[in-house]
Amino acid sequence: MTYRVEVVSSIDEDAFLAIYNANKDEIVANSGYEEYERLLLQFKMEGSFVIAGIDNDTNEHVGYASGVVSKINWHLTNIVAKSPAIFMALSGDLMHSIMLENKIAAVHTWCKKDSSMYDTVQASFNRPDLYLADPPVKRDEDFYNIKLHLIVK
């Protein structure tokens, strides 16, 4: 399978529900949102910068990332994907390229400690050729802020 990413003005709620249902346990563990509606609202906030991950063969939306851009920083609030493998496929070159196209130089993430997302972000999305992670900064009992700098090739 191959994918592409696009900036979208809104999410497809049917696709979002399918993504959520396909990977619910992982999404809840990473986001901390046990209530579907609360998570959904994070992707519908006014002024959000939303990227959709799309399957090239089916045109199905298979992931979303949402947050607010301030100057050159994307304050990423949440990411959902149909599977961890799809997330990894989308977070590499595809996301890196679209962020650079949109003049984003760094991504600020909020990660739940002891989650797969925390480990992945701390490891620069497992792409140290594309991202450089700052040390995590504790924000509350469970969540840390990790800033990822985009490496320009």
Give dist(CA 27, CA 6) in Å, integer: 21
Q: State the virtual CA torsion across 34, 42, 53, 86 in degrees, nearest 10.
A: -20
Return the DSSP state at 140: S
Extract the runs of DSSP E, i.e. beta strands, from the chain. Answer: 3-8, 49-55, 61-70, 73-81, 106-112, 131-133, 137-138, 143-150
pLDDT of residue 48: 94
Give dist(CA 51, CA 90) in Å, integer: 10
pLDDT of residue 94: 92
pLDDT of residue 5: 94
pLDDT of residue 84: 86
- pLDDT tens-digit readout, 100-121: 999 999 999 989 888 888 999 9
What is the pTM assigned to this prediction? 0.92
Decide: 95 and 128 in contact? Cβ < 8 Å.
Answer: no
Residue-level length of the chain: 153
Residues of the chain with pLDDT under 70: none
